[in-house]
Amino acid sequence: MGLCSMTGYGYGEVGDRVVVTVELRSVNHRYCDVFIRLPREYGFLEEVVRSTVLKNVRRGRVEASVTIEDFREDARTVKIDWGLLQGYNEAVVQVAERLDMDLTNRADYLLSLPGVLEPIAVDDKDAELLEDLVERATQAAAVVLIDMRMAEGQRLTVMLREYLDYLEDSLHGVVALAQVLPAEYRERLDARIAELVGEMPVDPNRLAVEAAILADRSNIDEELVRLQSHLTEFRSTLEGDEPAGRKLDFLIQEMNREVNTIGSKSNNVSISRWVVDAKSVIEKLREQVQNVE
């Protein structure tokens, strides 16, 4: 299956006389967070939406918008509080009389006042119907969402592989340089000592010890081996079927750590330039991995 992005959109619609539509939008998030929008009177359907989304999505912030339309001839979804409506009407009449205003058709205005229209409670039969429709619509939207996230994941995989190829190719040159660094340090030490002491005799054994100490302090073989290991593991993880975002993020941290250590231990100009370049590429890897599930 490969990588899956956390960004996507899905739409699902089911039903005939009662039509349910669900829209799912997902973006980056450290964990799996589901935010649901649906009419207040249908609040009991929230868990159906949430559980269906969580069956399909393992990481990311998902916003679900649910719309329910009832086209049945006998459908009554609201009731009128006639007592409250009458009270509002009498108040409007009194105001008009006191301020000497003309009364006009005010039905729309009265119906918009708080409490006049109230949702009718959904009975058990309708609740069961709605739960089924909402689950099916959410699942349909989730399928489209996952397809889009997987397509984006494939594009991310191509980009990440290109960055990995670049790092691995450039690493070969650093490994070759690391093999000649001890001799280079010995030559630099010889030249520096000759410059300082002139014709004075120097103990060759002491010189060898100092050169060995300097070479050991500047040895980057272990860091190069670990860095190559992280690159190999990163590439292997790209091909897996499990959510890989957190593991890839950890590997990037370790790669960055090894490159920083190489930079601090080596005084070679070419390696220093490679360190700057490698850190730039690793940062690009990190930016892309932030969108991986």
- What are the C-alpha distances in Å from 248 to residues 32, 188, 233, 287? 17, 40, 9, 11
Residue 81, pLDDT > 90, answer: no
Burial of 197 (0-12, 13-18, 19+ CB in 10 A): exposed
- pLDDT score, position 188: 67
Burial of 97 (0-12, 13-18, 19+ CB in 10 A): exposed
The CATH number corresponding to 8-73+123-151 among 3.30.1360.70, 3.30.1330.60, 3.30.230.70, 3.40.50.150 equals 3.30.230.70
Return the DSSP state at 5.
B
Map out the domains of the chain as residue ranges: 8-73+123-151, 78-117, 154-289
What residues contact residue 174 under an 8 Å CB cut-off, 6+ apart? 220, 224, 262, 271, 274
- pLDDT score, position 180: 74
Q: Which of 15-19, 70-74, 232-236 has the highest mean pLDDT?
A: 232-236
Mean pLDDT for the stretch of residues 90-102: 79
Model confidence pTM above 0.75:
no
Among 36-50, 57-71, 175-189, the minimum mean pLDDT is found in 175-189
Q: Residues of the chain with pLDDT > 70: what percent?
A: 78
- pLDDT score, position 268: 78
Mean pLDDT for the stretch of residues 105-124: 66
